Chains A and B, each alone.
Chain A
């Protein structure tokens, strides 16, 4: 074989035009968005120095005088996350069983539950919060409810996927020896589901801690309320130390959940 034939061996079977079209289309989307929204990158860059100046002038040094007064809000925030994760994990577990083909043979019921759960999940929690504030007024219950609704949506789907992954083979043995539906569920499905259950629930807790810090911005209680009020009162230094506190909480939560994960999963 001489060199010429080697050079003619293509490395790809696909049409290179198609790849080019896809890349061009993606790029066109960006151009369109920038032009349509009249985003000026020059303004953005020009604004950068004044943003940094503003940040350092107004937010520094962080005002930690009132640090002790934040403690109740921090506890509130964590409390919302705990309550909402707790309640959602129970409800989501039932939904998860109803959604998974492994544990629910009735297709209509599966589809209905799946649809309901996907509505819960696809409305962002901040919108749930804003909606619920109109119904219940400002306060803790709104935050908890908003978190519960979204977490049920998230966990049900994740639980159902994990239950689906438990192979039907393993359950076949229990089906073959005359065990009842609930015995198969409790003796076959749940033991195999435990690691995934711990994992997803801890993950949901992390998300909920973050989310409950933000919920205050729509008046739904927690530490977010403090940020909102302080910024509105131009007390930037104090707002900054609250933000620092939130970052600390989130980092600590991750630390704790990770160590729980390592120990139990």
Chain B
């Protein structure tokens, strides 16, 4: 199978000699649900942001859907970015704008400015936005302002916004790090369900190893800017996990099962 995304020898140096990424080479195939784990400061966030060039890489190649992302001009980059959905740790919704408009922001790249200003999105887009919101259990919050929602609800709006782009690739940078265990579980569950339904390729940064094992089809461990593990979740042994988090064991989050059972299967809050 042809990879959807190929990364070759990716290096990112901040300032003069802070090497966040130290030569990462990976292939990502369609339909994979990849979870990237590693302690904070390992370069997970930089890695995922290099893919859509929110962070410009220092060296290396990022080939997404046949395009060299690192070489693209501004205009072409925008076009490629529209094919990559992204979910953020802090949701990054526009707080004073209502929920459905936030979701429709996912379609901004396909709509000229005057139309988006007048709210003239295509009917199919509006319909899908409503359906997505229903799917994540937010049908009653459609016209609420985004800043009136709880963290878990905001992140579900974030997922809808990313999905409405109809992306080929979905990036999620610590999507549940700011959420309580209950909401974290719902968000992770829905992210997984929706991306399976739409047959999306997902790359998710997490530092909860148990979530990684539960949902991932493939886990990548990053330590000090380099890949130290790449394989199926079943191959990720405890010794390997300890190695990835070596020296930063306190960040190892293995949540108790009790919190998980409480929330599994609940789609509404």
Task: Give A168-199 interface residues, CB cut-off 8 Å to B.
Answer: 169-180, 182-183, 186-188, 191-192, 194-195
CB-defined contacts of A177 to chain B, threshold 8 Å: 81-82, 84-86, 105-106, 108-109, 161-162, 165
Known: A176-B84, A187-B108. A182 touches B113 (CB 8 A): yes
- How far, in whole Å, are A175 and B108 apart by their CA atoms in the complex? 10
CB-defined contacts of B79 to chain A, threshold 8 Å: 178
Q: Mark A26-52, 1 if CB is under 8 A from B, else 0.
A: 000000000000000000000000000
Interface stretch (choices B12-20, B88-96, B199-207):
B88-96
B54 lies within 8 A of chain A by Cβ: yes
CB-defined contacts of B78 to chain A, threshold 8 Å: 178-180
Report whether over half of chain A's contact residues are helix, strand or loop; otherwise say mixed: helix
Query: CB distance B54 to A188 under 8 Å?
Result: no
Chain A's interface size range is 20 to 34
Query: Measured between C-beta atoms, what is the minimum distance from A185 to chain B in Å?
Result: 9
CB-defined contacts of B94 to chain A, threshold 8 Å: 170, 187-188, 191-192
Q: Which residue of B lies closest to A170 (CB)?
A: B92
- How far, in whole Å, are A177 and B169 apart by their CA atoms in the complex? 11
Query: CB distance B88 to A183 under 8 Å?
Result: no
Query: CB distance B86 to A179 under 8 Å?
Result: no
Query: CB distance A174 to B105 under 8 Å?
Result: yes
Query: Measured between C-beta atoms, what is the minimum distance from A196 to chain B in Å?
Result: 11
Query: CB distance B96 to A192 under 8 Å?
Result: yes
B40 lies within 8 A of chain A by Cβ: no
Query: CB distance B108 to A173 under 8 Å?
Result: no
Instruction: Name the contact of B109 in the complex, choosing from A170, A179, A194 (C-beta under 8 A).
Output: A179
Task: Give B59-73 interface residues, CB cut-off 8 Å to A.
Answer: none
- How far, in whole Å, are A21 and B58 apart by their CA atoms in the complex? 52
B117 lies within 8 A of chain A by Cβ: yes
- How far, in whole Å, are A172 and B88 apart by their CA atoms in the complex? 9
- How far, in whole Å, are A170 and B97 apart by their CA atoms in the complex? 12
Q: Which residue of A lies closest to B167 (CB)?
A: A177
Query: Measured between C-beta atoms, what is the minimum distance from B203 to chain A in Å?
Result: 13
B46 lies within 8 A of chain A by Cβ: no
Query: CB distance A178 to B108 under 8 Å?
Result: yes
Query: CB distance A169 to B88 under 8 Å?
Result: yes
- How far, in whole Å, are A191 and B145 apart by their CA atoms in the complex? 11
Query: Measured between C-beta atoms, what is the minimum distance from A186 to chain B in Å?
Result: 6
Q: Which residue of A lies closest to B117 (CB)?
A: A186
Query: Measured between C-beta atoms, what is the minimum distance from B212 to chain A in Å?
Result: 23
- How far, in whole Å, are A177 and B82 apart by their CA atoms in the complex? 5
CB-defined contacts of A172 to chain B, threshold 8 Å: 54, 88, 92
- How far, in whole Å, are A177 and B90 apart by their CA atoms in the complex? 16
Query: CB distance B90 to A183 under 8 Å?
Result: no
CB-defined contacts of A194 to chain B, threshold 8 Å: 96
Task: Give B129-184 interface residues, CB cut-off 8 Å to A.
Answer: 158, 161-162, 165
B52 lies within 8 A of chain A by Cβ: yes
CB-defined contacts of B109 to chain A, threshold 8 Å: 177-180
**Which of B's residues lie within 8 Å of A, judged by CB?**
52, 54, 78-82, 84-86, 88, 90, 92-97, 101, 105-106, 108-109, 113, 116-117, 158, 161-162, 165
Q: Closest 4 A-B residue pairs measured CB to CB? A: A178-B82, A178-B109, A173-B92, A178-B81
